[in-house]
Structure formats: C-alpha cells, structure tokens
Amino acid sequence: MGGFDMSKLKGSIVAVVTPMTEEGAVDYEALKGLVDWHIAEGTNGIVAVGTTGESPTLDGAEWEGVVGTCITHAKGRVPVIAGTGTNSTAATVAKTKRALELGADAALIVTPYYNKPTQEGLYQHYTTVAKAVPQLPIILYNVPGRTGCDMLPETVERLSKVGSIIATKEAAGKIERFADIRKRCGPDFVVYSGEDGLACESIKQGGDGVISVTANVAPGLFSRMCKAGLAKDFTEAERLDSFLTPLHKALFCEPNPTPSKFLLKEMGKIKGGIRLPLLPLTSANEGLLREALKTSQQA
C-alpha cells in the first residue's frame, strides 16, 4: 500500500478504461500514457480494472498486469484502487489479498452479481473480505442496474462500522440516497457517486466525489467541477457541469466503455480494441459523441 490516507480521498476518481490493441491485447504503454495524462489533468485517484476496465473479460494475469502497471507507473503520485469484486466471496478474498500484495491503496468491491444475495448475505460477504484482508481499505460498490442486487442504506450503515470498510460508491440512481447514507454513516465515512449525471448534485447532498466514467475523456474539467462542489461553490460547480452534461448522457448511448473508448481513440490516447461481448461503437452514434466532447471543451 502507498502512504495515502484513503479516508481523505475526495474529488474526481477515474474508473480508467483498459486500453487494447485492435486485436484485443492489453496495451500497457497506452495505459501508462493514460495514467500520466490523468495525473497532469488533476484526477485525484485511479480505479484499475473496475467494470469500466472490462474486468469480466480480463484473465488473472491481465488483471494483475493492469493493476500492477497503474501502481508502478503512478509512483505514488495518486492513489490506485484495484477492482477486486466478483460474485464469489472466496474469489473476492483471493483477489483482494493479491491487490494488497501488488501495492494497491484500496479495493473497490462490487456487490455480487447474478447471485442476488439478501441484505444479510451482502453483510456477510463484505465482512468476510474485510476480516481476511484487514490491511487494505475497502470501498463498497452498489450498482443494481448491472448486478441485479441493491445494497440498501441500512446495510451500508452496518458495514460502515467494520474497520477497514471506509467508503461506498453508490450508483442506484436515487439522489436521496446520498443524504441518507451520510446521515446514517456519519461525516467520516466516504460517499462517492457512481453516476456521472448525479455527480454534482450528490456533492451538494454531502457526497465526497465521484468514481467516474466521464473523467476518462474530460479529466481536467471533471476534476474542476468536483473541486468547486467540494469547496461549496455550487454555482461554479453547476456551471462546469453544464458543459459535461452532454457527455454524461452520450457516454452511455451504448454499453460502457464502448463510447469512452471511441472518444479516447479519436483523441489519440488509445487504439480501438474492445472485447466481446462488447463491440466498437456503431457509426450512428459517432456524431453524438463528437458533439458532446466538443461541448465539454468549451468550458
């Protein structure tokens, strides 16, 4: 682990894409370039191999390669959070242990997908991981639209009392949850939005920042928006967010990270590789994405 106090990490945290060649091989040199770019643009932290990083399609060696490259290339300039969640508790424990060995600063652990555990099952899942790897801070991740499982605020409250569980990434699409979780869990528990379209409002509701898809393509502007919001300059945060709003929408016109990868290729940051079952962007949406990016560059 690095020397970061992860309970203090706020602002714009990018869920970075995994660059790939046209043939689908992981492009580690392009990944290093993305890390440098994000740091230069003011991104506050990097999530390696979250779902935006196509975690379901990377094998174990590739997962280690991407996480390890982000850690070694960041060189302690920003914290690196490893996506270690699976729908097997034992596999999640093993992956989280490996993230610790690789030097990750924290683990982002999505709720088990497909299994549809109960709230008690979720509690037992996360506490088992936390007890097995107590040295590594854990960020919960609730995204029911992807997993078929909704972790309720009262379960987050219970888990917030488990020592190494320091934060949650909330992406249920319910803005009222941010104030609810903040009230339940207190000021020291970190609450991130997992939805870019709710990012600005979530900060106004007491959130601490965003684990973001949009930051992949507009890192500087997204970081400025979060910084303004956290400084309680909500007028400026809303102004900046107005330039990001078309991107928040356009980046989900097709399954994530297809649109992000299209724009990053257009920008010369990565090649065009993406893995099945996802596909490259259809031509019908190219104009929409170019216009959204253009709007963000006018801020």
Residue-range domains of the chain with CATH: 8-234 (3.20.20.70)
Tell me, what amino acid is at 73? H
Per-residue pLDDT of the chain (299 residues), as tens digits, is 567 999 999 999 999 999 999 999 999 999 999 999 999 999 999 999 999 999 999 999 999 999 999 999 999 999 999 999 999 999 999 999 999 999 999 999 999 999 999 999 999 999 999 999 999 999 999 999 999 999 999 999 999 999 999 999 999 999 999 999 999 999 999 999 999 999 999 999 999 999 999 999 999 999 999 999 999 999 999 999 999 999 999 999 999 999 999 999 999 999 999 999 999 999 999 999 999 999 999 99
Token match 């992000």: residue? 260
Q: Is 211 annotated as a binding residue?
A: yes
Among this protein's residues, is 123 annotated catalytic?
no
Retrieve residue 238's tokens.
Answer: 């809303």
CA dist., res. 79 & res. 296, Å (int): 26
CB 93 within 8 A of CB 57: no
Judged by DSSP in three states, 169 sits in strand
| Beta bridge partners of residue 142, listed in sequence order | 170
Residues 6+ apart with CB under 8 A from 29: none
CA dist., res. 160 & res. 174, Å (int): 20
CB 141 within 8 A of CB 169: yes
CB 102 within 8 A of CB 67: yes
Among this protein's residues, is 183 annotated catalytic?
no
Residue 1: predicted pLDDT: 55
CA dist., res. 215 & res. 167, Å (int): 20
Residue of 126, 141, 227, 265 marked catalytic? 141
CA dist., res. 212 & res. 218, Å (int): 10
Q: 279, exposed or middle or buried, with CB in 10 Å at 0-12, 13-18, 19+?
A: exposed
| Beta bridge partners of residue 109, listed in sequence order | 140
* Nearest to 226, CA basis, from 40, 15, 11: 11
Residue 3: predicted pLDDT: 76
**DSSP 8-state assignment for residue 198:** G
Residues 6+ apart with CB under 8 A from 163: 130, 134
Residue of 10, 123, 126, 169 marked catalytic? 169
Q: Is 52 annotated as a binding residue?
A: yes
